[in-house]
Amino acid sequence: MPSSPIAPAPVIDIDGLRKTYSNGRIEFEALRGISLLIDSGEYVAIMGPSGSGKSTLMNIIGCLDVLTEGRYKLAGDDVSEMTEDKLAVIRNRRIGFVFQQFNLLASLDALRNVELPLLYSGMGRDERRIRSIDALERVGLGDRLSNRPGELSGGQQQRVAIARALVTEPDLLLADEPTGNLDSTSTREVLDLLAELHDQGRTIVLITHEADVAAEASRVLRIRDGMLAESTDPDRADLAEVLS
């Protein structure tokens, strides 16, 4: 009898996560016992108001900060006790970041901005170029390779940022308020692109405080006072009510 295939490890496996900040004798517990599983190919939105703990959770998921207690495995690898050097490798190769501010270098064209993660990894010039062109073509900017950020619209700049996040073929695409600086037309373009990437099998975690943006995801979690829960609204039609 043939053996059953082994199921892949969840992309995110968090158990009993706590994060405490200390300032002298004062301690503040930003995250309080969060457990979370996100499988490969899921599109999950984490939604919460300012001060809820969503930015702290995003930083830990993105290996930009370390937890105080608990365990965090990224695609099967325990990152809870990794050194800063190992976490830097994880951030560069296995997590693609998309931020509200785009974080593009104004002096570089779109192609060179997308190449940056590959340059840091030591990849050769020819392969960097091939992979970066492919990433820009995937986000619909194959004709904008030589344009600098100042020559692109806000939506196009965010597409360049998404191409840069994708170029390393990461386990996880982590988007932090990716439409926060965009007008309604550009917001729709970026959300449509994220939906397309999800349809292609990408694992996406979207951090947002906007109900209509969160509703684009296949699964919505809410965070308040450092604790996480699945949305109880099956249609997610009015997530603002959940957070009020």
Query: pLDDT per residue over 23-67, tens digit each?
Result: 888 899 999 999 999 999 999 999 998 889 999 999 999 999 999
State residue 244's pLDDT score. Answer: 38
Rg of the chain over all Cα atoms, to the nearest angstrom: 18
State residue 50's pLDDT score. Answer: 85
Confidence of residue 127 (pLDDT cuts 50, 70, 90): very high
The rounded distance, in Å, linking the Cα atoms of 144 and 108 is 12
Bridge partner residues of 98 (DSSP): 175
The domain limits of the chain are: 41-64+84-243
State residue 8's pLDDT score. Answer: 78
Which amino acid, 240?
A
Bridge partner residues of 36 (DSSP): 14
Query: Which 3 state secondary structure label does DSSP give 187?
Result: helix
Q: Rounded mean pLDDT of 160-178? A: 96
Is 112 or 2 the better-scoring residue by pLDDT? 112
Structure-block tokens of residue 43: 């599109």
In the chain the first and final C-alpha atoms are separated, in Å, by 54
State residue 4's pLDDT score. Answer: 54
Structure-block tokens of residue 184: 């309604």
The DSSP line for 27-42 is EEEEEEEEEEEE-TT-
The rounded distance, in Å, linking the Cα atoms of 140 and 194 is 12
CATH ID of 41-64+84-243, from 3.30.413.10, 3.40.50.11900, 3.40.50.300, 3.40.50.1370:
3.40.50.300
The rounded distance, in Å, linking the Cα atoms of 141 and 114 is 11
Mean pLDDT for the chain?
90
Is 225 or 234 the better-scoring residue by pLDDT? 225
Tell me the pLDDT tens digit for each residue of 88-111: 999 999 999 999 999 999 999 999
On the question of pLDDT at 240 being above 50, the answer is no
Q: Where are the alpha helices (DSSP H) in the chain?
A: 54-61, 84-93, 110-120, 125-138, 154-166, 184-199, 211-214, 239-243
Hunting for tokens 């349809």 — which residue is that? 199
Q: Model pTM?
A: 0.89
State residue 230's pLDDT score. Answer: 78
